[in-house]
């Protein structure tokens, strides 16, 4: 069974690589056939990125972007999980707070950008704030729904064995909802990454979002525009894979694997 699964995964990976190569070839061919002077070929993009690396900007930009996402996202985790726990546990609190949250949630974090600039100026804090806003709501909602969907008999059994409220939360409630929190964290991360790039186009002068907007404005360097896009995609993929790794941890594996 396990060997079978490994083989299937290996085959899947090979297919993914092949598809990637085919798309790259198609891109290269399309640039040649169309004779475009603006759109870069794959090699132009690689050269552009190498140049960026020589100017020591590549790692700096990636580092800045990751730093901003880490700050905003971790702040959202630190606030979103306790708030979600409280709202799931006390339904009166949820009834009061939920309409506000559901109203704020559909507002794109980008709509907050003018306010973020007024409040935080042109600084790291503005994109961090936007990332926080983007990721905190999915985390709150996932945690709250997690608490509400805990089968009541788990809590009953915990109380029956004489657990204090604190032990009930740490030994029953939290492990029971951890898988749902994890799913919320993953969704929130996706949104945070989307918002980061847009946020960096406005308020700051470094990072991958800035790279794209700056490359276009200062000299129509479309090789760097496309290079920036690909880097964003690649980093997003890597980080998402890391988060998915968490689903195999012992504490949550019970909910993800049959």
Partner 1 sequence: MKVHFDSIGMRFGGVRVLDDINLSVNAGEFVCILGPSGCGKSTLLNIVGGFVTPTEGRVTIDGEPVTGPDPRRIFVFQERGVFPWLTVEENIGFGLFRQKDDEKRARIARYVQLVGLQGFERSYPRELSGGMKQRLEVARALAVDPDVLYLDEPFGALDSITRLQMRRELLRIWQAERKTILFVTHDIEESVQLADRVVVLSARPGRVRRVVDVNLAHPRDLSDPRYIALRDEIFGEIGLAHQI
Helices and strands, number each (H, E), in the chain: 12, 0
Take residue 107 and report the two structure tokens written for it.
């507002």
Interface segment toward partner 1; rule CB under 8 A; list 71-79, 134-142, 197-205, 250-258 = 250-258
CB atoms within 10 A of CB 108: 13
Residue among 55 and 257 whose Cβ is closer to partner 1: 257
Please identify which residue in the block is written with the tokens 């060997």: 3
Q: Footprint of partner 1 on residues 140-179 (CB under 8 A)?
A: 151, 153-154, 156-157, 159-163, 167, 171-172, 175-176, 178
CB atoms within 10 A of CB 163: 16
Residue among 74 and 163 whose Cβ is closer to partner 1: 163
Minimum CB distance to partner 1, residue 146 (Å): 13
DSSP category for residue 258: -
Minimum CB distance to partner 1, residue 159 (Å): 5
| 4 near partner 1, judged by CB under 8 A | no
81 contacts 143 by C-beta, under 8 angstroms: yes
Minimum CB distance to partner 1, residue 183 (Å): 15
Residues 97-136: x where in contact with partner 1 by CB under 8 A, - otherwise, as a string: ----------------------------------------
User: CA-CA distance, 208 to 239, in Å (whole number)?
Assistant: 15
DSSP category for residue 41: P
Provide the binding-site residues for partner 1, judged by CB under 8 A: 151, 153-154, 156-157, 159-163, 167, 171-172, 175-176, 178, 251-255, 258
């Amino acid at each position: 069974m396990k060997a079978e699964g490994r083989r299937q995964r290996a085959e899947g990976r090979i297919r993914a690589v092949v598809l990637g190569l085919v798309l790259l070839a198609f891109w290269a061919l399309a640039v040649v056939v169309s004779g475009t002077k603006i759109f870069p070929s794959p090699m132009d993009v690689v050269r552009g990125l190498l140049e960026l690396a020589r100017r020591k900007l590549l790692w700096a930009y990636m580092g800045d972007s990751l730093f901003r996402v880490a700050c905003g996202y971790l702040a959202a985790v630190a606030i979103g999980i306790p708030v979600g726990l409280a709202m799931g546990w006390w339904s009166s609190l949820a009834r009061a707070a939920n309409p506000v949250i559901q109203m704020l949630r559909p507002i794109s974090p980008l709509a907050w950008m003018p306010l973020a600039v007024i409040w935080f100026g042109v600084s790291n804090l503005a994109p961090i704030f936007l990332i926080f806003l983007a990721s905190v709501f999915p985390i709150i909602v996932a945690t709250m729904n997690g608490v509400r969907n805990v089968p009541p008999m788990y809590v009953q059994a915990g109380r029956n064995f004489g657990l204090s409220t604190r032990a009930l939360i740490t030994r029953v409630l939290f492990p029971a909802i951890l898988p749902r929190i994890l799913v919320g964290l993953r969704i929130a991360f996706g949104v945070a990454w989307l918002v980061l790039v847009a946020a960096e186009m406005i308020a700051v002068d470094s990072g991958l979002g800035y790279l794209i907007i700056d490359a276009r404005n200062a000299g129509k360097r479309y090789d760097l525009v496309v290079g920036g896009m690909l880097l964003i995609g690649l980093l997003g993929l890597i980080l998402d894979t890391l988060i998915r790794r968490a689903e195999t941890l012992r504490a949550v594996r019970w909910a993800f694997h049959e």
